[in-house]
Chain A
Amino acid sequence: MPILIELFASFFLVAFVSFGGASAVIPELYRIAVTEHAWMDARTFTELFAIAQAAPGPNVLIVTLIGQHVDGWLGAFLATLGMCLPMSLLVGLLFKHWDKLQHWRGRAAIQLGVAPMAVGLVLASGSLIAHSAAPSLIGILLLLLTVAINLRTKLHPLWLILLGGVLGLMGLV
């Protein structure tokens, strides 16, 4: 299969299970990009993840960067489109009927049922990234500190990203 079609098709399919957004499906993105297609090595994947985190915009940019790494700006475009298109179409279709669905039991059941699964997925994503980064002891402390500060204070995440970059440059983590 031509690689551009492969890019589009892979992320088009991921969109259907990405409850919790792109952050929830990082293990699947990893499986596609590193394990299945060998588009990049594990280190490149985690570095693209870091760039996506540091850039402004939605988390789906990790998909954009994977696409670009594989086949330039066209790859970036098709990968991003593949990830965004399926649910955009569904939103457009469901929009008119959403008022009626408000009181349907299935809607409440799906929302209640999907939420815990999304929690598991997002935590697994974070753990995969942490694991593949193989942090030093100070690195592990940085990660735990980030979790604590982000949960307990309103500090803007950009400051933590800056701290991570500086500690990284100093070779401490």
Chain B
Amino acid sequence: MPAPQILESATKPIPAPPTPAALFLGFSRVGLSGFGGVLPWARRLLVETEGWLSAEEFNILLGLCQFLPGPNVVNLAVAVGVRFCGWRGAVAGATGLMLGPFLVALVLGVLYARYGELPAVQSMLHGITLVGAGLIIATGFRMGLNVKNRAIYLPFAGAAFAAIALLHWPLPVVMLGGATLTISLSWWRLSQEAKACRS
């Protein structure tokens, strides 16, 4: 049915590709609006508000950013920047995203250095720490629910947890050793699937 498509492109003109300045400003808004997770705000800017990316393009770029380690949303700002304006766009996007939060953090850090010893500040931060720990644990559970073939892969999550939280093994060793195991397993399973498909 071609009709709705025409209608959509008529009402939604293809936006001009962003300049580095537009990327900087756009990602500045994303960085400062994101409390507890910046990613939904990045999606809103890129796909909904500005329409720089289609939902599908967004998912493909996000795939790249989640494939690599590191702060995913910084990776995303770099990927979007490179996509439109090369390395200049990458610098503009990432700087825009980080500059505002960075300055806010510096101000909070200065206040902490000054007033951090006050009992009231310490009790307040103690309460926030517990909520912060809860938010991270909730994120972990949510990520766990999104893991495919949970019966096979989640025991590895349990093992990684035990190695770091209970046995206090060094995290890089656990991550690299564990990921070698799990990636070999998933590679083997994908090969088996491919064979099953061919025969």
Are A and B bound to each other? yes
Q: Which residues of A contact B (CB under 8 A)?
A: 13-23, 25-28, 31, 44, 46-61, 64-65, 68-69, 73, 76-77, 80, 83-84, 86-88, 90-92, 94-95, 98-99, 102, 105-131, 133, 135, 139, 142-147, 150-151, 156-158, 160-161, 163-171, 173
B68-103 near A? 1/0 per residue, CB < 8 Å? 111111110011001100010010001001101110
A158 to B122, CA, bound (A): 19
Contact status of A109 and B186, CB under 8 A, knowing A56-B35, A129-B132: yes
Bound Cα distance A173, B131 (Å): 11
Q: How many angstroms between the C-alpha atoms of A65 and B184 in the bound complex?
A: 37
**B2-46 residues at the A interface, CB under 8 angstroms:** 31-38
A-B pairs with beta carbons under 8 A, tally: 376
For residue A17, which residues in chain B have a CB less than 8 angstroms away from its CB?
69, 171-172, 175-176
User: Would you call B129 and A114 a contact (CB within 8 A)?
Assistant: no
Task: For A124, give its contact among B101, B126, B161 (CB under 8 Å).
Answer: B161
CA distance A166 to B41 in the complex (A): 27
Asked if A125 and B136 make an inter-chain contact with CB atoms under 8 angstroms apart, the answer reads yes
Indicate if the CB atoms of B131 and A164 lie closer than 8 Å: yes
**Contact, CB under 8 Å: B106 / A160:** no
* Pair B68/A50 contact, Cβ less than 8 Å: no
Task: Name the one of B32, B94, B174, B179 contacting A88, with C-beta atoms under 8 angstroms.
Answer: B94
Which has the most chain A C-beta neighbours within 10 Å: B34, B105, B120?
Answer: B105
* Closest residue of B by beta carbon distance from A28: B171
Q: Tell me which of A58, A77, A165, A166 has the highest count of chain B C-beta atoms within 10 A of its own C-beta.
A: A58
B38 to chain A, nearest CB (A): 5
Report the Cα distance A135→B143, complex, angstroms. Answer: 25
Instruction: Name the A residues within 8 Å of B64 (CB-CB).
Output: 91, 94-95, 98
Give the distance to chain B from A2, nearest Cβ to Cβ, in Å. Answer: 21
**In whole Å, how far is A27's beta carbon from the nearest beta carbon of chain B?**
5
B137 touches A130 (CB 8 A): yes
Complex contact A121–B135 (CB within 8 A): no
Query: A130: which of B106, B125, B133 is its contact (CB, 8 Å)?
Result: B133
Q: Is the interface of B mostly helix, strand, loop or mixed?
A: helix
Bound state CA distance, A52 and B113, in angstroms?
A: 14
CB of A55 within 8 A of CB of B101, answer yes
Q: How far is the CB of A148 from chain B (nearest CB, A)?
A: 8
Given A23-B136, A56-B32, A64-B105, is A117 in contact with B156 using a C-beta cutoff of 8 Å?
Answer: yes
Q: Evaluate contact between B82 and A58: CB separation under 8 angstroms.
A: no
A99, closest chain B residue (CB): B60
State whether the Cβ of B1 lies closer than 8 Å to any Cβ in chain A: no
A113 touches B182 (CB 8 A): yes
A50 contacts B128, CB within 8 Å?
yes
Residue among B72, B116, B133, B142 making CB contact with A21, cutoff 8 Å: B72
Asked if B126 contacts A133 (CB within 8 A), the reply is yes
The answer to whether A23 and B139 touch (CB under 8 A), given A64-B102, A123-B161, is yes
> When the two chains form their complex, are residues A156 and B135 in contact, meaning their CB atoms are under 8 A apart?
no
How far apart are the CA atoms of A83 and B71 in the complex, in Å? 8
A57 — which chain B residues lie within 8 A by C-beta?
31-32, 34, 38, 98, 100-102, 104-105
* 25 pairs from A and B in contact (CB 8 Å cutoff): A16-B69, A19-B175, A31-B170, A46-B126, A50-B126, A51-B105, A56-B32, A56-B33, A58-B73, A68-B106, A99-B60, A105-B191, A112-B182, A113-B185, A115-B153, A119-B154, A121-B171, A123-B140, A127-B161, A127-B165, A128-B164, A150-B134, A160-B134, A164-B131, A168-B128
